[in-house]
Amino acid sequence: MPTKKTNQKIKNLNILLGVSGGIAAYKVVDLASKLTAAGAGVKTVMTDAACELVGPKSFEAVTCSTVFTSLWDTPGEYEIDHIALVGWADIVIVAPATANIIGKIANGICDDLLSTLLCAASPLIESGATLLAPAMNDNMWNNPAVQRNIKTVKKMGFQLTGPETGRLACGTEGIGRMSEPKGILEAIEKIASKIKHKKK
Ligand SMILES: Cc1cc2nc3c(=O)[nH]c(=O)nc-3n(C[C@H](O)[C@H](O)[C@H](O)COP(=O)(O)O)c2cc1C
């Protein structure tokens, strides 16, 4: 049974879910819900652009956890969030990963909470516990700067799932669709198996 298998692999892991401003952000609410149902602890960090596309309350409701949207506002107890969140996480995912956030990661740019915590996540990146699910228009994906950044983030140690070829939000067909939540879940399960193996 797929659900049981998922529960065993992901249960009790702390998953930090970064959501950047791609139109596929609405699908990631479903992913957050599936991860939570599988027994993972899920904390969500959203960029300003992501908040324009999906309300933080949706993630808050499905994960039963506070959503982090700012480097400067620290919800709850005082902590330096970008460090505390990375310390808490077993796995960090960014879905959808925009051309912009991929560019920031590749170039060490830290100008909001998500990009800053990703820069602080070096141990997780090196151990293969970070996953990006790129999603963008095909012309953006094929842009040489984006391709250069993709090569860089892979070389740094980020795992990637997708993008897929198919119908894009702009109405055209091409490469750039975010992997479906099921595919992202499978990629997380693969990472989780390795991590749980190491944790033993
Ligand atoms: C409706 C809408 C949909 C967008 N979808 C995408 C997308 O799928 N992928 C992408 O890379 N950028 C997309 N963008 C552009 C990004 O939102 C923009 O580059 C933004 O600066 C990304 O910021 P972030 O990476 O901090 O979230 C979209 C913009 C709009 C207005």
User: Closest ligand 1 atom to the C-alpha of 169?
Assistant: 8
pLDDT of 195 > 90? The answer is no
pLDDT of 128 > 60? The answer is yes
Mean pLDDT (the chain) is: 91
Position 7 scores a pLDDT of 56
What is the residue with the minimal CA distance to atom 22 of ligand 1?
A: 21
Residue 43 Cα to ligand 1 middle (Å):
21
Phi, psi (5° rounding) for residue 30? Answer: -65, -40
Find out whether 168 and 138 touch, Cβ atoms under 8 Å: yes
Question: Active-site residues: which are they?
Answer: 170
Structural domains in the chain, CATH included, are 14-199 (3.40.50.1950)
Tell me the best of 98, 102, 119, 149 to mutate to test the pocket of ligand 1, counting ligand atoms within 8 Å of each CB and taking the most.
98
**What's the CA gap between 148 and 146, in Å, rounded?**
5
Distance set, CA 145 to CA 74, 126, 148, 172 (Å): 34, 23, 5, 22
* DSSP letter (8 states) at residue 70: -
> Residues 11-46, buried b or exposed e (16+ Cβ, 10 A)?
eebebbbbbbbbbbbebbbbbbbbbbebebbbbbbb
pLDDT of 6 > 80? The answer is no
Does residue 132 sit in helix, strand or coil?
Answer: strand
Give me the residue label for tokens 């067909």: 173
pTM of the model as a whole: 0.94
